[in-house]
Amino acid sequence: MCGICGIVSLSNQIIEQSFIKKMCHQIYHRGPDAEGYYVKENVALGMRRLRIIDLNTGDQPIFNEDKSICIVFNGEIYNFKELKKDLIQKGHKFYTLSDTEVILHLYEEYSEKCLDKLRGMFTFAIWDKREKKLFLARDRLGIKPLYYTILPKHFLFASELKSILIFPDIKKELDFTAVSDFFTFLYVPAPRTIFKNIYKLLPGHYLTVKENGKMEIRKYWDLNFEEKSLGNENDYIEKFLELFEEAVKLRLISDVPLGAFLSGGTDSSLVVAMMSKLSNKPVETFSIGYEGRDKYFDERQYSRIVAKKFNTHHHEFILKPNNIDELVEKIITHFDEPFADASAIPNYILSKQTRKYVIVALSGLGGDELCAGYERYLGCLLAEKYRRLPSFLTKKIIPALINHLPDSSQGNHFNERLKRFVKSANYPFLQKYFQIVATFNEEEKKQLFTPEVQKLIERPSDEIFYDYCPSTNHPHLNNMSLIDFKTYLVDDLLTLTDRMSMAHALEARVPFLDHKLVEFFATIPAHLKLKGLTKKYFLKKAAERLLPKEVIYRKKMGFSVPLVIWFRNELKDYINDILSEKNIKRVGYFNHSFILKTLNIHQNRKANYDEKLWALVNFIKWYDKYLK
């Protein structure tokens, strides 16, 4: 795992090595083991390396035989050994044992079509001296990040925004449509970033840039939900277990110690179960939890059951609301743009502690999107039945009762979900799903933003969903899954996992997002994923062969954080200070009266607005660090 960056002068100016070194220094944390550069006239490539495979000869950049092609690479190619055998038969010569060199020779042999043969997580940049062309690519699912910008005289790219932001010609100009999207989703959806004219390369895409500045972006892979019949339920289970075992086995390839994050949920527990089956020694497992008043959010009793069953070397860590200001500062530094998924907090601490024991950790990320694991999927489908009730019930009596429910003192989100359900139930499908997932909906944002900011927003945030929903002929469940694959999974969960793990030079691997396994899940009929009121029905039936039922069928918590409680207790003064009238007026984008009303409603337990408040805190802290 590494960090990469580069710059091409589009006016044939010489690039100084000192600048590419500065770009690399910004992402030192991603690869503390080694650095490397290619600087030739108007092109410079750089990388920071975290040594995982081929510890002795795999440093980058790597060149082909005549040094006409050069590569810097971030990620892992799990099928590189079989690809290498094929390339050797075709006459290619290798001087390392690394997967990086395999990509380079694949490009020589197949040009852009080399991407079709790769199985793994990756971003890379190849400079083709013969064609005077830069070739950038990102893996199918977007596991690894890649940012870029094209200026009148330069093209720049990097694994993180911070390497691009130091370039003198970059203007830190806010994209207010991205700001609006952030307050809806708690992240900035690709291809936008928070800054104008800096973009994320979309998953499953590649980009080419010629010396004359001509840039092309093309899609090489996409996920299509096309249900196919394999036979009975058991046939699907057998196929899943075959593909899942292969995906986990490939991700155990490493020349350094590895382990697994273990929340005690079905997905991470399945990963640990399969690792234990494939390993000849106990698996190192890592969990984080809460104590005392926050114990409602603690899941360690289930991770302990799994750890005991598979005889793992289990490590537990406790999260408390101490030094939160310092922690938020560190987290913001690693995202470079506003990011308000609160699970970044436990992920940061868990990754930091895990890195003391291993360098690679497997994660159960992706199972919820693949197999309908979210409450909102069930809620959206139940809403279709709710709409059939008499309108005097759905529009008057039931909402009146639900909206008067107080918020839970323990931090339970059930009442808040009920309120969202009745508020959104009567909308058409896509609008309903948007209302369920939106933190601030379009009406609330009109109250949040000043009139001046509202004029700078180019389109409502819900248009993103319409862009990604290919057909109303697909089952609603598949459409929701696809929307989450294109947005939430990539720009929230995978971004969070990459930044929080790489903040500590820890490589995170996600076997559920092996593209062959993902393509298989896209063929499974919707009724096997969500059956009645049972979410992840198919995956749970498969898990029965490996896990205790008390783990499989327990209540899902997710990687939750007790912000709802902290904001009413230990962090009450902290949040009141950050959201003070003085700070809000200083930033100049928001209506303080609306924020004060939101804060009072939350602290008086009339509703749970922890996500809204956390988004505001993150934005203001980010603003002070990057724009003040």
A 10 A CB-CB count for 128 gives 18
* DSSP assignment string, 402-418: HHTPPPPSS---HHHHH
Q: How far apart are alpha carbons 360 and 506 in whole angstroms?
A: 6
Residue with tokens 């008057």: 396
Type of residue numbered 206? Y
Burial class (CB in 10 A: 0-12, 13-18, 19+), 238: middle
Residue with tokens 């230990």: 570
Residues β-bridged to residue 63: 70
CA neighbours closer than 13 Å in the CB half-sphere of residue 342: 22
Please check if 99 is assigned to a binding site: yes
Helical H segments across 314-405, by residue range: 324-335, 344-354, 367-370, 375-386, 391-392, 398-403
* H-run or E-run covering 529: helix 526-529
Please check if 341 is assigned to a binding site: no
User: What phi, psi does 77 have (nearest 5°)?
Assistant: -110, 110
Residues β-bridged to residue 3: 48
The verdict on whether 2 is a catalytic residue reads yes
Please check if 379 is assigned to a binding site: no
Please check if 91 is assigned to a binding site: no
DSSP state at residue 490: I
Q: How far apart are alpha carbons 206 and 209 in whole angstroms?
A: 10
Strand bridging mode 215-219 / 205-210: antiparallel
Helices (H) and strands (E) in the chain, counts: 30, 17
3-state secondary structure of 442: helix
Q: Which residues of 16-42 are buried (b: 16+ CB within 10 A; e: fewer)?
A: eeebbeebbebbebbbeeebbbbbeeb
Catalytic residue among 2, 24, 114, 371: 2
* DSSP assignment string, 240-296: HHHHHHHHHHHTT--SS-EEEE--SSHHHHHHHHHHHHH-SSPPEEEEEE--GGGGG
Q: What residues form the annotated binding site for L-glutamine?
A: 99
Catalytic residues: 2
Q: What residues form the annotated binding site?
A: 99, 288, 363-364
Q: What residues form the annotated binding site for ATP?
A: 288, 363-364
